[in-house]
Amino acid sequence: MTQSGQDNKSIDLNQFNQVFFEECAEHLAEMEQILVSLDDAGPDDEQLNAIFRAAHSIKGGAGIFGFQDMTVVTHVLESLLDRIRNREIPFSPAMVDLFLEAGDVISMQLAGHRDGADVSQEAIDRIRGKLQQVIDSGAVATAPEAGDSIAAIAEELPLQPESAASSPDCHCFELEFRPDPDIFKRGTRLESLFAELEELGELTVAAELPANLDFSELDPESCFCCWRMTLVTASSEADIREIFEFVAEEDQLKVREIWESSAANNPVSAPEAPAVAVVDAVTPGETFGQAASGAADPSAGRRAYDKNELAPGAYGRRGSEAESSIRVGVTKVDQLINQVGELVITQLMLAQTAAALDPVLHENLHRSLLQLERNTRDLQQSVMSIRLVPISIVFSRFPRLVRELASKLGKQVELKTIGDTTELDKGLIEKISDPLTHLVRNCLDHALETPAARIAAGKEPGGTITLRASQTGGRIVIDVIDDGAGLNREKILAKAAERGIPSSDSMSDEEVWQLIFAPGFSTAEAVTDISGRGVGMDVVLRNVQSMSGKVAIVSQPGQGTRVTISLPLTLAILDGLSVAVGDEKFIVPLNSIIESLQPNSASLKTVNGKSVVLVRGDYIPIIPLYELFNLPARVTDPEKGILVLIDVDGEKAAVLVDALLDEHQVVIKSIETNYRKVDGTAGATILGDGRVALILDVTSLLQMRNRN
């Protein structure tokens, strides 16, 4: 296929392209995950097969969808992996970096097709050359030549030698093909399969039937036959196996090279008569090539999971996923969530209307409305759960980051992840990625010591970074823990003083640790390309706060540091308290409320011209909402209103409102999309009476107050 996927106008391939892009990204992620998990012992067979499958699936998909350029690297990568798998080239730890680099190049090509990102042909040529070099240095005579162009590779894939026997590099393979009994039922045409084989060279086929089979009892649609073939070809074993990849399990196809006529003309084994003259019957336990050689060939087959094309896992489908999940666009899910949100509002309206009706006279209506409320709530939770995705999506990117940075810094680091299956909203997943990356980089660069320093401190030479996620109450808690040197209190205080950040020796540890969130704060002695520019922790804090999250630090000198990020489960709904200010209603997020109180005159003071309220020894500034939003006030005297105490990262404020109304779970609507940005708000919601209420952004409220 040479036509570009985008050029094909006969059918709209875009929707299929998207599936390919997603699957390709998953294959790359899977490949990377396995590669970074490898130790010096190298991959086991299953891991090698998995990496191979990923590379092969990408190549196959790219070919099918017309992204021929993506088959260039994958083809050479696949060839190398196949040789490693077949023990023709020994695995070495250095290959991990090579494969990771190849994955990066394929990712780059993927991004090029998907997002129109720049693609470096130089990088493609470089990695292809490196991979080919490994293949060549492995002295594999049958290694396919990586051509100088995409076309060369594309033409190479279907090898069709006119006369294999006359080829200078000619092999004779003996094949034993014992298909799955269901192969006919699946519609596989063996004639086509054998025809493909015949295209490789001179093929001789002999079918063998089992010796003792009760004719009247057999299943006529079942395959009970075994085929023995000899193939004289210039192609490699990999080319042969590729033909069988969708029809044969590992143990269903055995390939053995009987002889090879290369330049040196050294037979692999003595040429023998083709297997046409076969034994009278083959029993199931009989081993392949038994008569010719005592040593069974351990060559591994391909696509062991492709047992049944109708079954999960066939044709490279991920088993359970293919059957138990479907891909749905995020916009569709959001649309559904939005509609359920509307339904919740409608239900609230009904409830509010019904509240005015006599509960005795309208008992049935009230009962039905209660049922509706329960059902709506359940539906809302179910729909919200669709947007939840496991945090492993984020965690999975760190093994490689840690591996590479640790290597660069000369440190020994083990990364542990706990709670990978913890789910949180897709929107949060996207936003939490950067803060976590900053934290992990900081751990590597600053927190964890070098092996020598660790040994000197009586520690193991290798440090540990732990990423732990869990759901606690209505929040997701993510810990980034290291067993490094811990934060240096004196250094932080000195740096704070140097930068003019208010600080004192009497500050508690918790307060000192908070100083590192100041913009531009860094105690790093050297700015590296990893961290140390002081643009990390303030970005972490800002990003987390933008998700209504919190960051806390616990650190022990010499023992390590734990940074805890706490996030709401979702950004689409919110537990809030509705309050009245004049004729308007506002929603205050419940998670920021400490308490509500009606102050007496003794507790109200004025400090520097600003009203404060004394609560258990603390003077807390009062924020009159009517002033901030320029509303006609009913209550201006705090004594006559209600003060809602809020806490934002340790900073407290008392919001003056007319009255507390009700506690709601509200559906957050973007006010910017529908109106414009309103300072001090995080969005809006529609209340049961159909009115719009602004949702307060308490962080922004404090900033507004400070500005005023």
Binding residues for other proteins, rule: CB under 8 A, are 184-185, 187, 189-191, 194, 204-209, 213, 215-216, 218, 220-221, 223-225, 227-229, 278
CB-nearer residue toward other proteins: 281 or 659? 281
Q: Tokens 């336990």 map to which residue? A: 285
Spatial distance between the Cα atoms of 466 and 56, rounded to a whole number of angstroms: 33
Judge whether 389 and 429 are in contact, CB under 8 Å.
Answer: yes
Q: How far is the CB of 216 from other proteins (least distance, A)?
A: 5
Q: How far is the CB of 228 from other proteins (least distance, A)?
A: 8
Q: How far is the CB of 231 from other proteins (least distance, A)?
A: 13
Spatial distance between the Cα atoms of 689 and 470, rounded to a whole number of angstroms: 37
CB-nearer residue toward other proteins: 120 or 192? 192
Q: Tokens 């390590």 map to which residue? A: 560
Q: How far is the CB of 205 from other proteins (least distance, A)?
A: 3
Spatial distance between the Cα atoms of 620 and 654, rounded to a whole number of angstroms: 6
CB-nearer residue toward other proteins: 227 or 626? 227
Written as one string, the DSSP assignment of 217-255 is: GS-TTS---EEEEEEEESS-HHHHHHHHTTT--GGGEEE
CB-nearer residue toward other proteins: 190 or 311? 190
Judge whether 441 and 536 are in contact, CB under 8 Å.
Answer: yes
**Structure token pair of residue 468:** 């732990």
Q: What is the largest CA-CA distance in the chain?
A: 109
CB-nearer residue toward other proteins: 169 or 182? 182
Q: For 624-655, give one letter per residue: b (16+ CB within 10 A) or e.
A: bbbbbbebebebeebeebbbbbbbbbeebbbb
The DSSP secondary-structure symbol of 479 reads E
CB-nearer residue toward other proteins: 224 or 675? 224
Spatial distance between the Cα atoms of 228 and 684, rounded to a whole number of angstroms: 73
Indicate the residue type of 554.
Answer: V
Judge whether 231 and 175 are in contact, CB under 8 Å.
Answer: yes
**Structure token pair of residue 65:** 């969808």
**Structure token pair of residue 57:** 């699936």
List, in order, residues 6 or more apart from 525 with CB less than 8 Å away.
532
CB-nearer residue toward other proteins: 277 or 607? 277
Q: How far is the CB of 138 from other proteins (least distance, A)?
A: 35
Q: How far is the CB of 164 from other proteins (least distance, A)?
A: 18
Local structure of 150: helix, strand or coil: helix
Local structure of 32: helix, strand or coil: helix
Q: How far is the CB of 173 from other proteins (least distance, A)?
A: 16
CA distances (Å), origin 311, targets 2, 49, 193, 303, 428: 31, 19, 20, 13, 35
Spatial distance between the Cα atoms of 25 and 83, rounded to a whole number of angstroms: 24
CB-nearer residue toward other proteins: 165 or 213? 213
Q: How far is the CB of 268 from other proteins (least distance, A)?
A: 24
Q: How far is the CB of 246 from other proteins (least distance, A)?
A: 16
Spatial distance between the Cα atoms of 258 and 266, rounded to a whole number of angstroms: 11
Instruction: Sort strands 584-589 and 692-696 into parallel, antiparallel or unpaired.
Output: parallel
CB-nearer residue toward other proteins: 183 or 635? 183
The separation between CA 438 and the C-alpha centre of its own chain, rounded to angstroms, equals 18
**Structure token pair of residue 237:** 């074993």
Q: How far is the CB of 202 from other proteins (least distance, A)?
A: 13
Q: How far is the CB of 177 from other proteins (least distance, A)?
A: 10
Phi, psi for residue 599 in degrees, rounded to 5: -75, 155
Q: How far is the CB of 217 from other proteins (least distance, A)?
A: 9
CB-nearer residue toward other proteins: 202 or 509? 202
- HEC profile of 82-105: HHHHCCCCCCCCHHHHHHHHHHHH
Q: How far is the CB of 284 from other proteins (least distance, A)?
A: 15
Judge whether 381 and 416 are in contact, CB under 8 Å.
Answer: no
Q: How far is the CB of 159 from other proteins (least distance, A)?
A: 21
Judge whether 321 and 371 are in contact, CB under 8 Å.
Answer: no
The DSSP secondary-structure symbol of 430 reads H
Helix intervals (H) in 248-329: 319-324
CB-nearer residue toward other proteins: 211 or 659? 211
CB-nearer residue toward other proteins: 209 or 494? 209
CB-nearer residue toward other proteins: 122 or 217? 217
CB-nearer residue toward other proteins: 187 or 285? 187
Written as one string, the DSSP assignment of 627-670 is: HHTT---S--STTTSEEEEEEETTEEEEEEESEEEEEEEEE-B-
Q: How far is the CB of 197 from other proteins (least distance, A)?
A: 11
CB-nearer residue toward other proteins: 36 or 243? 243
CB-nearer residue toward other proteins: 211 or 355? 211
Q: How far is the CB of 206 from other proteins (least distance, A)?
A: 4
Spatial distance between the Cα atoms of 588 and 576, rounded to a whole number of angstroms: 5
The separation between CA 495 and the C-alpha centre of its own chain, rounded to angstroms, equals 38
